[in-house]
Amino acid sequence: MGRAMRKSIWTFQMFVRFVFVIVGSFVSCKGQEDMMSSSIAPMKKQEQEALYSAIQGFVGNSWNGSDLYPDPCGWTPIQGVSCDLYDGFWYATAINIGPVYDNSLRCTRRAEFTHHLFMLKHLRILSFFNCFFSPHKNPVRIPTSNWEIFTNTLQSLEFRSNPGLIGTIPNTIGYLKNLQSLVILHNGLTGELPPEIGNLVKLRRLVLAGNRFVGRIPESFGDLIELLIVDLSRNKVSGSLPLTFGNLTSLLKLDLSNNMLKGELPSEIGRLKNLTLLDLGSNKFSGGLAQALEQMVSLKDMVISNNPIGGDLNGIQWQKLKKLEVLDLSHMGLTGEIPESMAELKRLRFLGLNNNSLSGNLSPRLASLPCITSLYVYGNNLTGKLEFSEGFYKKMGQRFGAWDNPNLCHLQGALMSETGKFPNGVKAFGGDRGWVVPKSKHDRQMYNQWASTNRFKVDDTVHFKFKKDSVLVVSEDEYEKCHSAHPLFFSNDGDGVFKLDRPGLFYFISGAAGHCERGQKMVVKVLEPANPPQSDNNTTSTDSSNKSGATPMAVVSSPVVVLFIMLSFFGVL
């Protein structure tokens, strides 16, 4: 072996020893740093064991926290658990259980509350999502005791989508006087709402929707003057709206829809001048529209539909609600004419006045609202003729509904050009016969046979001509049943034009009794638009980078970089 070779081997050995020293120092320093960090801020054994046991009660005994997460507030954090320092020690401050992320804590089928949870005296956030599954196999109740332990700490308590969570809200919840958010959403809870919730004077969000609560809304809720959001929708609460709700002047959103509330809307509701959403839909309110509604000048969404309120629609000065974007007053038994003042609502996107007893003409000014995208006035006693432009009909499509007004003239023919011919894209069918009931069993597929011989594109239009009949656009299920209470489109004026505004299937039936069953129905398939050619920019970019000889650089660790540099230095590379 030559002298030069022996020298190279000796050099390489010295280098390897040097690298091990450097890497060893790096690892040793890193380990010491972690140990120092842990020793500076340890977690008390009692707190750590309480955390493991509390979580184990929900996720099951097979979960071994001490092995999986020996330092739960340090270098082995638990997904969904947060910690803070108090007097130099780590304490758990947040526990979120439920399948939010792939590695989130998930409840077992036999999840339960244990007393260890209430040993975590610094807890600020407690949340359960999709945790308690079955109200029959393993029902779980919210604990009735020990909540006073969290009086000064707990700020947020949430139960979301837990069908197996049953029973009532314990009145001991009233101890949580520092609580800012109480969310009990889509669970299996029943019983009356405890008035003790009114003790939670720091609450800013109160969501108790989607349960089976009954009884009256407690007057004490009106004491929660810092509330921004109240959602009690989709329960069975009854009685009248508490007058004390007028105290909630900071409120931004109030949703009491889908309950059994009744009585008149109190004038105190007008004090909610910061409210942006008011949803009282699907209740039993009566006594007419409260004039105080016009004082709620910040409203963007007002939904009072499906209430037997009755009264004249003109009792409100609608022009005062200049920020309104959604106004749904359908199915309310309203009378009178549609107010001209509604045409002053320049931000209005949705206007639902259908299924009332409104009369008079439909103002053409409504069509000029700059943001309007949905307008429904069907099921009333409107008269006169629709004086809307061709552009309005094209813009609205199926989102305009004025059918079932017997004395209202539908000028569907306005979609025709001045020459009396149909514009491009209009498919007229039926020859001289038009849209009629088939004469025999052999003709029952005549409309579908016609539809199958045509190629329909998006924005094509189908023209129906008929006498003493009607045409409806319905869902697939309604097509099969030959019946629709709320069609997507309706025309009975003998000259209907329907725009195919999307790809997919459209279902047409006759509205005349017995006609659909005899074959006066049709399915139209609209083709998907052609896809644009794929861009070859990526390919070109890749090819050019290959031609330039550029090599992608990988991310490497510090020891590898040291190795590379030292090998180059000693001449090994």
The Cα–Cα gap between 444 and 219 comes to 63
Residue corresponding to tokens 């020996």: 70
| DSSP letter for each residue of 265-289 | PPGGGGG-TT--EEE--SSEE-S--
pLDDT, one tens digit per residue, over 355-397 is: 999 999 999 999 999 999 999 999 999 999 888 888 888 888 7
The Cα–Cα gap between 332 and 283 comes to 10
Spatial CB neighbours of 390, under 8 Å, sequence gap ≥ 6:
414, 415
The Cα–Cα gap between 235 and 210 comes to 6
If residue 480 lies in a helix (H) or strand (E), which one and from where to where? helix 476-481
The Cα–Cα gap between 380 and 402 comes to 9
Nearest to 422 by CA among 464, 373, 365: 464
Question: Both tokens of residue 49?
Answer: 């064991």
pLDDT of residue 213: 99
Dihedral sign, Cα of residue 397, residue 463, residue 379, residue 233: negative
pLDDT of residue 188: 97
pLDDT of residue 426: 46
Amino acid at the residue 13: Q
Looking at the DSSP assignment, which residues form a beta bridge with residue 165? Answer: 140
pLDDT of residue 144: 97
Report the half-sphere exposure of 176 (CA within 13 A, side-chain side). 25
Report the half-sphere exposure of 343 (CA within 13 A, side-chain side). 10
pLDDT of residue 550: 36
Split at pLDDT 50, 70, 90, the class of 3 is low
Strand 89-97 to 301-303 pairing: unpaired
pLDDT of residue 225: 98
Nearest to 235 by CA among 263, 206, 267, 257: 257
Kindly report the pTM of this predicted structure: 0.70
Give the Cβ contact number of residue 426 at 10 Å. 16
The Cα–Cα gap between 403 and 391 comes to 19
Q: Which DSSP symbol is given to 550?
A: -
Mean predicted confidence (pLDDT) in 520-540? 65
Mean predicted confidence (pLDDT) in 116-143? 96
Asked whether 568 and 561 are in contact (CB, 8 A), the reply is: no
| Average pLDDT for the chain | 84
Spatial CB neighbours of 14, under 8 Å, sequence gap ≥ 6:
none
Looking at the DSSP assignment, which residues form a beta bridge with residue 92? Answer: 83
pLDDT of residue 18: 54
pLDDT of residue 566: 38
pLDDT of residue 249: 98
Q: Which class for 157: exposed (0-12), middle (13-18), buried (19 or more C-beta within 10 A)?
A: buried
Flag whether pLDDT at 544 surpasses 50.
no
Question: Both tokens of residue 404?
Answer: 């079932």
Q: Which DSSP symbol is given to 229?
A: E
Question: Both tokens of residue 45?
Answer: 């054994």
The three-state DSSP-derived secondary structure of 97-145 is ECCCCCCCCCCCCCCCCCHHHHHCCCCCEEEEECCCCCCCCCCEECCCC
If residue 506 lies in a helix (H) or strand (E), which one and from where to where? strand 504-510
Residue corresponding to tokens 């003057």: 225
The span from the first CA to the last CA of the chain, in angstroms, equals: 21
Q: For the chain, what's the residue count?
A: 573
Flag whether pLDDT at 78 surpasses 70.
yes
Mean predicted confidence (pLDDT) in 521-549? 56
Amino acid at the residue 27: V
The Cα–Cα gap between 568 and 556 comes to 17
**What domains, with CATH codes, occur in the chain?**
45-415 (3.80.10.10), 426-526 (2.60.40.420)
3 state DSSP class of 493: coil
